[in-house]
Structure 1
Amino acid sequence: MKIILHLVEDKKFLQASINKFSIDPSIRNIFISIGKLKYDKKGSTIIISLPTIVINKFIRFIHFFVRGVVIHGFGNSFFNVQFNKIHNKVKILGIFWGFDLYSINGSKEDFLMPETIKMNRGSHNFSKKFGEKKFIEFINQRIDFVSTIVPSENKILNSHFPKANFKFTWFSYFDLENDVLNGIQNKKLVFSGQNILYGNNSSLWNNHIDGIEEIKSFKFNFDKIICPLSYSGSVEYRQKVIEVFSNEFKNKFRPLTSFLKYSDYLQLLLSCPYVFFNSKRQIGLGNLLFSIYLGSVVILNSNNPLFHFFLSNGIKVFSIEEAQSSESFELDISKNRENLGLLFNEEALKERSLQVIQNLIEE
């Protein structure tokens, strides 16, 4: 049985990763995360948690039993993993999630706006931690395949690594029917309010405070600003966003600081026919897919690769400038749903997953 080894930092994506890579029964997948020793097994899939020091002791020998390695995001816990020790016989796929893509060879602040930069207290620059020269050599010389969350981000990798030999592929974690919609496609849903959903979490990437003037300049009428702040980011940043927005919008601002039951969250989304993300980088794709399917007017910063990705695939989203000049929006919800399905339906993701697996195991 051929083996693919996975390094996973964010366990929220673990089950989705297992589902997508388990479609080929001839493959055994081993998923490893950083942490105290722990072992689990689901069918033929093995899930292990290991300290970094243990991973580094065996990583140079994995070519004796592993055909391919998948690095699921270059996160903080991987800073000390000796990826460059992986033998040349083993094919490597690096999946860039976004936070890593935008800081590997530059500054996080390139994607933050002025007010948010003032609150930036750290960096996610993986290449600096890994050793910039080693990291660049690793990407240029050892990565065989790369995937970004959406193909429109590929040009960012090309600009960072013009000498690299990797090939682009496209792996997606969540399919529309099973992972995003959770059965709502079989229900009749109607918007019940006139609110704006603003951002997807409490991370700096959302440029929350910098979006205040844009929101105030929108031509359309809205009741409240619903702002998810229940995860990611620092407590200090979250409190600052709440303070500034509460002072500016008073009772029109509603922060979400704790997780809601799915049914309650769905009702909240149905009160938000408008969705605004002020991020200059790809973020919150699952939230956006859900909102587009519902029929929300999705407003994105035009610097965000998702803006161009959606438009180039016939999925209508709107720029900040359009929201500043229009009181109403023409939106073909059926067409948006159809085009979302072409990209993210279960069969499309199965085909992409099988191609990724084939790339990793072929001689």
Structure 2
Amino acid sequence: MKTLKILHLARDEKFIDQAIKAFEHAAPGASDLYVYSNKPLKLVKSRATIPSITSVLTGKISKHFSKYDLIIVHSLDQVWYKAILKLPKSIPVVWIGWGYDYYDIIYDSRTKTLLPLTSLELNITSNKAKLFKKIKNTLKKIVFPTNKSKVVERINFFSPVLPAEYIMVSTQFSGKKFPDYALWNYGNLEEDLVKDFTNAQANGSSILVGNSASAENNHLDSFFLLSNLGIDSREIISPLSYGDEQYRDLILKKGREQFGDRFEPLIDFMPIGDYVKILESCGFVIMNHIRQQAVGNIVIMLYLGAKIFLREECPTYNFFRDQGAVIFSIQELEKNPALIHEQLDNASMMINRHIVKNNWSKEVSDKKTRLLLKQVCNA
């Protein structure tokens, strides 16, 4: 394969360094990175260009893109819309989806991803937030008048988090042309997800709830469930280091009211090693999402041998069950509370670890990246 010139477009997000490293493995020296930010970068450590806000929002930055053989967009952020549409047709574009950037295509309303208690609480407490969001959306339409469908039609390849999501998105897409499917994922076990923890095991009694400060975690419904399962002496650990600040404050308040000192929120970003060290104490995981979310956390916890509970309607549940993983549903837990008191057996732990290795090992990750580049070149 000839050496490509690849341009990555991204925000200042924690997964970007993993992506740059993966593409450098496959095509050394080929990648450049543009990060949109109006502040000094905090999360991206890779060498990056920070273009001017004006050049990005007007799309004029695209004049610098003609020297590249391939553009990779890490989540379909509105800030890149105009630049994508101004690209020469000869330059292929790959959209690596994150979930939030395509679930508006699958669901016509966010409320369809919320469970009853979470939905009710947000309706009660978020009148000001609704007004702010309405104003924000109006301003966005002024700054970003481009129709999302037109941008998606310009994209050549789409890689969602889970393969099944490609069908979910493409069948709901109202545009004329949808990108071809591409398989790719962020991070690998050895270098990113469980680095220095390859022999670790999550054998504590703490319970991990959710992965972020977003309402789609349905924390309040999880808290209600747990409060009725006889877990009076066990810690509840909730990562809340990114997402919506107002929602985070709500969960901090509700978590402390319900569980007192046993509620342990993780508010600050921390190195992955420190994070995994905390996760070792969590032998049980509650991810109460209706939509796909928290796949990285789920992969780590499956590798560490925790007992995982997901909703039956969540695509992530079906993805792992179809591969033979030993996971459980929230609905099963509601019917059989004893499940939250019994650690996963060793045989099931080994099955789950084997499955995540088959999907997220460094060898598999490198192969996915090489195949993606080959797919684009052949096209």
Range into which the TM-score falls when normalised by the shorter chain = 0.7 to 0.9
Contact 1:112 1:280 (8 Å CA) reproduced: yes
Distance 1:84 1:237, change over 3 A: same
1:156 aligns with 2:165: no
Distance 1:168 1:263, change over 3 A: closer
Q: Of 345, 349, 360, which residue of structure 1 is paired with 2:376?
A: 360
Contact 2:302 2:353 (8 Å CA) reproduced: yes
1:351 aligns with 2:367: yes
Q: 2: CA distance between counterparts of 1:256 and 1:26?
A: 36
Return the offset for 1:265.
Answer: 4.0
Distance 1:268 1:47, change over 3 A: closer
Q: 1: CA distance between counterparts of 2:199 and 2:313?
A: 34
Residue in structure 2 matched with residue 212 of structure 1 by the alignment:
223
Return the offset for 1:143.
Answer: 1.3
Query: What letter matches 2:206 in structure 1?
Result: N
Return 88-97 or 279-288, whichever deviates more. Answer: 279-288
Residue in structure 1 matched with residue 287 of structure 2 by the alignment:
277
Measured on the aligned residues, the alpha-carbon RMSD in Å equals: 3.0
Q: Across the two proteins, how many residue pairs are aligned to each other?
A: 350
Return the offset for 1:36.
Answer: 5.7
Residue in structure 1 matched with residue 159 of structure 2 by the alignment:
147
Return the offset for 1:144.
Answer: 0.9
Distance 1:354 1:198, change over 3 A: same
Per-residue CA deviation, residues 202-256 of structure 1 (Å, 9 max, x unaligned), is 222211112233223447786121222233221x322221222222233432323
Q: Secondary structure at the match of 2:101?
A: coil
Contact 1:2 1:26 (8 Å CA) reproduced: no
Per-residue CA deviation, residues 88-139 of structure 1 (Å, 9 max, x unaligned), is 111111111011111246333321234434256338989x74446x321221
Q: Secondary structure at the match of 1:299?
A: strand
Contact 2:211 2:294 (8 Å CA) reproduced: yes
Q: Could you tell me the TM-score, scaled by structure 2's length?
A: 0.82
The answer to which structure has the higher helix fraction is 2
1:138 aligns with 2:151: yes
Return the offset for 1:314.
Answer: 1.7
Contact 2:26 2:369 (8 Å CA) reproduced: no
Runs of 5+ unmatched residues, structure 2: none
The answer to which structure has the higher strand fraction is 1
Distance 1:178 1:262, change over 3 A: closer
Residue in structure 2 matched with residue 239 of structure 1 by the alignment:
249
Q: Of 35, 46, 60, which residue of structure 2 is paired with 1:33?
A: 35
Q: Of 70, 73, 93, which residue of structure 2 is paired with 1:71?
A: 73
Query: What letter matches 1:343 in structure 2?
Result: N
Q: Of 265, 268, 276, which residue of structure 1 is paired with 2:278?
A: 268
Q: Secondary structure at the match of 2:100?
A: coil
Q: 1: CA distance between counterparts of 2:360 and 2:196?
A: 15
Q: Secondary structure at the match of 1:97?
A: coil
1:203 aligns with 2:214: yes
Q: 1: CA distance between counterparts of 2:262 and 2:145?
A: 47
Q: Secondary structure at the match of 2:358?
A: helix
Q: Secondary structure at the match of 1:82?
A: helix
Matches within 5 A, 1:184-195: 184-187=197-200, 189=201, 191=203, 193-195=204-206
Q: 2: CA distance between counterparts of 1:125 and 1:27?
A: 39
Matches within 5 A, 1:285-296: 285-296=295-306
Residue in structure 2 matched with residue 172 of structure 1 by the alignment:
185
Residue in structure 2 matched with residue 308 of structure 1 by the alignment:
318
Distance 1:222 1:350, change over 3 A: farther
Runs of 5+ unmatched residues, structure 1: 40-44
Q: Secondary structure at the match of 1:6?
A: strand
Query: What letter matches 2:307 in structure 1?
Result: V
The percentage of counterpart residues that share the same residue type is 25
Distance 1:239 1:354, change over 3 A: same
